[in-house]
Structure 1
Amino acid sequence: MKIDTKNRVKFVRWPAESDKREQCKVRGHLCLLVVEHGAAPPEHLSFHEDWVRPPIVREDLQARVRQLAARGVLKSKPVLDPAGILCFKDSSVTLSLTQCEMLAPLVARYGQIIYRAELRDILERSGASSSSNALDLHVMRLRRRLQMVGLAVRNVWGRGFVLEPV
């Protein structure tokens, strides 16, 4: 079984190779720190780092690498987690329940048109007003939150909205 091919997870001995860790951060590489015997693990980890202490069972190591690889996907596509946190690239933002419900189809079909009627239906099911003005107000508030992570909701005149990077 291969552990590290296309995901490019870098294995770095901690603390002996702390300079390599910094290089990984600068280059945006995924990094698995192997904490040497007797050393304390790093206090702060970036979103693209994890650590293990040897000896580690092969299956556990593979699971850690898979988790890091999944985080690497966040660089190219937004991810909305069940707790209402939207992650994109190296940023995240917390959203309200209504914002999450509205954003879910936009994230699921990232870069594709979501029709106004679909978002109005979501508002209606949540018990909020589903008028055209109410929808526009919710989208405006959502746009403000999404700016924090480098995303935008673009109008597609007469049809709906598209979620895309700024």
Structure 2
Amino acid sequence: MRVLLVEDDAALSLGVARALEREGWQVDVLADGRQAAAAGLVAQFELAVLDLGLPGLDGMGVLRAWRAQGAKLPVLLLTARDELADRVGGLNAGADDYLVKPFDLPELIARLRALQRRAQGRVSDTLQLGELLLDGAHRELLFRGEPVRLSQREFALTEMLMQRAGRVVGKDAIVARLSSWEADFSENSVEVYVHRLRKRFAELGVEIRTVRGFGYVLEPGQQLLGADAQHAG
């Protein structure tokens, strides 16, 4: 998941960014409201964490600019003011949730996961395909209950493919999700990671099929489909 973090408190911003990166998310950080208003319209973020008290343009102005231009990314507001008017104003302007400073990082992460699930129409952090189970909350991929070791980027790509299992996921969408301003992720990188995952998944009952000119589809392997058909017969 690619997250835009807009916060002008450098120490807080660094702590939040590191916590989100430990979750395997790609994080882009800005401290200026005007820059954030532009970035939210041109880059493919899945979530935004937006502070209300920003230089250049305050968080409410950034949020209104995004919504006025049709940006639909879920937004969690950070505010140092625990006042009803601020919370209601933010929600009415198009925010999806808010958190009052100071806050605990586990709560922030839990709220972001809830926003992600809601945006994707899911009710849980678990995804399953055949005997492969992905636990997003604990950052685990399990096969028949046993952990499958993956790097952070391999896990992020697996999560993306499992979220859209049976549907084509374009290379450009993968690049946008796994990139950040500090670490580019090219289409060549996508091919390398898909090759690695294909080898790992070969014995796990699922396969990544290439749809030439479009992207990749994660689906049950032929062996699993044959076993299901035999069982049904």
Q: More helix per residue: 1 or 2?
A: 2
Provide the TM-score with structure 2 as the length reference. 0.35
